[in-house]
Copies of this chain bind each other. A is one copy, B any other.
Amino acid sequence: MKKNIFILMLCNVLWLSCNSQTNINEKYNLMPWPNDIIENTSKFIINSGITISINGEDEGRVYKAAVNFLRRLSNRSGVFIDKGFPITNEKGNIIISFETVSSLSINDDESYALNINNNTITIKAKTDVGALRGLETLLQLTANDDAKYYFPGVTINDSPRFVWRGLMIDVSRHFQPIDVLKRNLRAMASVKMNVFHWHLTDDQGFRVESKVYPKLHQLASDGLYYTQIQIKEIVNYASDLGIRVVPEFDVPGHASAFLTAYPELSSKEDYNYTIERYSGVFDPTLNPTKEITYKFLDNLFTEMASLFPDAYFHIGGDENEGKHWDENKDIQAFMTANNLKTNHELQTYFNIRLEKILKKLNKNLMGWDEIMTPNMPKSAVIHAWRGENEGLIKGGSLISAAKAGYKTVLSNGFYIDRMQSLEYHYSVEPIGNIKLTEKEHANILGGEATMWSELVTPLTIDSRIWPRTAAIAERFWSKKEVNNLENMKLRLNDVSYKLEELGITHIRNRDVILRSITNNQDISTLIDLSKICEPLKIYERNKNGVEYKTFSPFSLFADACVADAEDAVIFNKEVKAYLENSNNESLEVVKKSLKKWSNIHNSFQEIKINSKIKDLESFSENISIASEILLMGLETKKKISLNNQTNLTLAINVLKEPCMDVELAIIESLEKLSQFLLQV
C-alpha cells in the first residue's frame, strides 16, 4: 500500500514536472532558455522601493549593469524608483553576490543562480559576468497584470552550453559608427552573447587608426575609421557587458585596402590598387614571399595587439584564390625553392609565420577554415564558415577541426547577412549526433553569427542582425534539447520588441525607409506589402541588373523588408494547415489575408508614384489579381473559370520573379492554393 502510494506520488510528481515544464516554456519569455527553472508561488512587486545591493569586490561591471537594470526596469514598468543607484549601507531587496572578477577569458565561469520570492531576489554567481547574465534573466522575467508590474517567483540555475557565443560585424564594406556597435553590444549582452568579432579590414576599407603605418587609415578608409581611443572605448564598453572583443585583420587576401596604402607589399607590380567599391572576391593579395610583408605585419600586429586585450587574434585567411601569386614569377620561384606545391601550401607557410608573430604577442591565431592545412600548428583556432554552399558538408569543417585537435568556432549556418529564415538558423545544431571524444567535444568552443556588410548601412544593419541573432544566441547558450521552433518564436516576439529599449532600430527604421520612399505619403500600403516581401537571399540582390557599390542607395523597398516577413509567415503556416488538415480556422485566416491583399492594389494606386516605387505597381496589381481569384475560389468552392485560371497563372508567373530586389514570400502558398483549387 505504502509502495503504491509512493508510486502514485512519483507519477504525479513526474507528470506535474513534465506538465509544468511545458507550461513554463510558454509562461516566461526567457531567451536563451535557462538550464533549470523551478516555479514558486511568490510575486516580487516592482515598486518605488526596489533597491539593489552588491556583494563582491566589484570593479564596476556589476554596478554599471545594476544602474542600467534600474533604468530599463523603470522605463519598462513606468515605476518611479526612489533609489536610482545601488545602495551600499544596507541590504537591498535585490542582492547580487559574486566571488571573483572575470578577466574575460574563454575559461570564465558565467553560471548564476537566481531566486525570486515575495520580498527578496538573489542573484549568486561565481564571477561578476555571471551576475550580469543573471540580471538579464531577471529583467526578461518582468511581468504585469492590469495594476502592477512584478517578478514571478522562480528559482533558476543556469550556465552556457558553449563558451564562445559571438557576433561578427563587418565594418569594412560599410563602416559602422561607434553608436551602432554600442547598441548592438548592449543587445548581445541582453541575450548573453559574449564575443564581438570585429572584422576591421577588407578590400573596401581599413578601419583602424595606425600610428605605425598611418597610410592605412589615411589612404584606405575614406576617413571612416576608428581612432585607437575609440577602439579602446569599444573594448571597455564590451568588457563592461562581459563581452570579449576579437579583432580581425584579414590577410593575405581581401587586401585591397592594405595595398592601396602600401602597394610595396603586393603580389603584383604595376597594378592600380584602390579601395574596392564593389562586393565580391578580388585579386589583390599580400606577397607572402617578401620579408617586408612579415616585418610590416609584425609591426602592425604588435601595435594592434596592444589595443585588444583578448587572447585571440583573427587573421582572416579566407577566399584567397592566389591569382596574383600565379602571375608572379618571383613568387613561383619562391614556391619551387621552398618546395611549396600549391597556393594553399604557400598560404600555410604565410600563416605559420603569422602564428609565430602572434605567439610572441601572447595571442592565439584564429582564422577562417581555409587555414586548416596539414602543417598548421594546433594552437590555431579554426573558424568554420564553409558548408554546403561551398561544396562541403554542412558544418563539416567544425567537426573535422575538432577531430584534428584544433579549437574551433562555427559560423556555417549562421551567416545572417544571407537573409535566411529564423527557422533555418535555429535548426543548425553545431554537433548533432556526431560522436566525439570528450577532448574533441571540448575543442568546439561555440559559434558566431556573421553580419557581412555589403548590403547594410547603419540604417538597416539592426534589422539584419535582429531578432534572428537572439535565436542563434539561444542555440549557443541553451541545451541542445531546447529546439522547439514554435515555442521559441513566441518568446522571440517578446524579446524582439524589447530590444528597442536598448536602441536597436530593427522595427522603427522600416517606416523611416517607407516614408522616404513615398516622399512622406501614407505608408500603410507599403507596410502591408513589406510584410509579405523578403529581400533577395544569399547575395542574389547583387545579381539582378544592378550591381551595388558601397555608396549605392540602401534605403530602397528591399531595405525596408526583412527575413521572415511577418504576414507571410502566418499565411504560409495557415495555408499549410488548411491544405493538410482542412482546418476551418486556418481557412478563415487565409481568406482574411487574401481579402486584404485583393485590395492592396487599389490603395497602392492612391500613392503618387515616383521612380523608387514605380516597379512595385505591377507587383501589387498581380498580388491583388491572384488574391482575388483565389479568394473567390475558396469562398465559392467552385472550380475557377478558365478565364480566371489564365489570369491567375499569369499573375503567379509575374510574382515568381523578383521585383525591386525582393521576392514574394507567399508565392509558394499562392501556388499551392492555385493547384488545390484547380483540383476542386
In the complex formed, the residue of B with least CB distance to A177 is: B179
* Cβ contact within 8 Å between B507 and A515: yes
Is A148 an interface residue when CB atoms closer than 8 A count as contact? yes
**Nearest CB to that of A493 among chain B residues?**
B520
The answer to whether B507 and A550 have CB atoms under 8 Å apart is: no
**When the two chains form their complex, are residues B84 and A549 in contact, meaning their CB atoms are under 8 A apart?**
yes
* Contacting residues of chain A (465-513) with chain B, CB-CB under 8 angstroms: 493-494, 497, 500-501, 505, 507-509, 511-512
Are B515's CB and A497's CB within 8 A? Answer: yes
Q: Which B-chain residue is minimally distant from A149 (CB atoms)?
A: B611
- Which single residue of chain B is at the shortest CB-CB distance from A227? B229
Q: Which of A72-80, A305-313, A349-357 contacts B (4 or more CB under 8 A)?
A: A72-80
A144 within 8 A of B: yes
In the assembled complex, the CB of A178 is this many whole angstroms from the nearest CB of chain B, namely 7
Contact of A553 among B75, B146, B178, B554 (CB under 8 A): B75
**Does A95 touch B at the CB level, under 8 Å?**
no
> Of residues A147, A229, A519, which shows the largest number of chain B Cβ atoms within 10 Å of its Cβ?
A519
Closest CB in chain B relative to A524 CB, distance in Å: 10
| Interchain CB contact under 8 A, A556 and B609 | no
Partner of A277, one of B71, B84, B227, B548: B84
Please encode chain A, from 200 to 241, with 1 for each CB lying within 8 Å of some chain B CB and 0 for all others.
000000000000000000000011000101000000000000
Q: Which of B146, B501, B512, B556 contacts A614 (CB 8 A)?
A: B146
A64 within 8 Å of B by Cβ?
Answer: yes
User: In the assembled complex, how far is the CB of residue A522 from the closest CB belonging to chain B, in whole angstroms?
Assistant: 12
Chain B proximity of A630: nearest CB distance (Å): 27
Cross-chain contact of A612 among B78, B548, B614 (Cβ < 8 A) = B78
List CB contacts (< 8 Å) of A38-87 with chain B.
Answer: 64, 67, 70-71, 74-81, 84-85
B494 touches A520 (CB 8 A): yes
* Residue ID in chain B nearest A556 by CB atoms: B78
Contact of A148 among B75, B149, B497, B611 (CB under 8 A): B611
Contact flag A551-B71 (CB < 8 Å), given A146-B610, A277-B84, A512-B508: yes
Whether A638 is near chain B, meaning CB under 8 Å from some CB there, is: no
Indicate whether A516 reaches chain B with its CB closer than 8 angstroms: yes
B79 near A553: Cβ-Cβ < 8 Å:
yes
Q: Do A555 and B75 have beta carbons less than 8 Å apart?
A: yes
- The reply to whether A551 and B614 contact each other, CB–CB distance below 8 Å, is no
In whole angstroms, what is the CA distance A546 to B144 when docked? 22
- Interface range on chain A: under 10, 10 to 19, 20 to 34, or 35 or more? 35 or more
Bound complex: CA A519 to CA B223 (Å):
41
- Nearest-neighbor residue (CB-CB) of A82 within chain B: B549
A608 at the interface (CB under 8 A from B): yes
Copies of this protein chain in the complex? 2
Q: Bound complex: CA of A548 vs CA of B75, how far in Å?
A: 13
**A272 interface residue (CB < 8 Å to B):** no
Is A552 part of the binding interface, using a Cβ–Cβ cutoff of 8 Å?
A: yes
Given contacts A550-B84, A608-B146, A610-B144, contact A520 B508 (CB under 8 A): no
CA distance A79 to B610 in the complex (A): 12
Contact of A551 among B70, B76, B178, B277 (CB under 8 A): B70
Which chain B residue shows the least CB distance to A71? B551
8 Å CB interface, A542-573 against B: 546, 548-556
Nearest B residue to A550, CB-CB: B84
* CB closest chain-B residue, reference A76: B516
- Closest Cβ of chain B to A620, distance in Å, is 15
> In the assembled complex, how far is the CB of residue A46 from the closest CB belonging to chain B, in whole angstroms?
10
Q: Which chain B residue shows the least CB distance to A147?
A: B611
User: How many angstroms from the CA of A508 to the CA of B514 in the assembled complex?
Assistant: 12
Chain B minimum-CB-distance residue to A551: B84
With A71-B551, A78-B611, A146-B610 known as contacts, the answer to whether A500 contacts B515 (CB < 8 A) is yes
B553 adjacent to A78 (CB under 8 Å): yes
**Chain B's nearest CB lies how many Å from the CB of A530?**
15
A81: chain B residues within 8 A (beta carbon):
551
A179 to B176 alpha-carbon distance, docked (Å): 12
Contact across chains for A609 and B500 when beta carbons are under 8 A apart? no
A497 touches B520 (CB 8 A): yes
Query: A178–B74 Cα gap in the complex (Å)?
Result: 24
Known: A500-B516, A515-B497. A611 touches B77 (CB 8 A): yes
Chain B residue numbers with a CB within 8 Å of A494 are 520
Which residues of chain B are within 8 angstroms of A516 by Cβ–Cβ distance? 75-76, 497, 500-501
Of all chain B residues, the one with the shortest Cβ separation from A497 is B520
Structural contact, A74 and B179, CB atoms closer than 8 A: no
Q: List 26 A-B contacts (CB under 8 A).
A: A67-B222, A70-B551, A71-B551, A75-B516, A75-B555, A76-B555, A77-B553, A77-B611, A77-B612, A80-B546, A80-B548, A80-B549, A84-B277, A144-B519, A149-B610, A149-B611, A229-B229, A494-B520, A497-B516, A501-B516, A501-B555, A505-B508, A507-B511, A507-B512, A508-B511, A511-B511
4 tightest A-B CB contacts, nearest first: A84-B551, A179-B179, A78-B612, A508-B508
11 extra interface residue pairs, beta carbon distance < 8 Å, beyond A75-B555, A78-B611: A75-B516, A75-B553, A76-B516, A78-B517, A144-B610, A147-B614, A494-B520, A497-B520, A507-B511, A508-B511, A508-B512
Q: Which residues of A contact B (CB under 8 A)?
A: 64, 67, 70-71, 74-81, 84-85, 144-149, 177-179, 222-223, 227, 229, 277, 493-494, 497, 500-501, 505, 507-509, 511-512, 515-517, 519-520, 546, 548-556, 608-612, 614
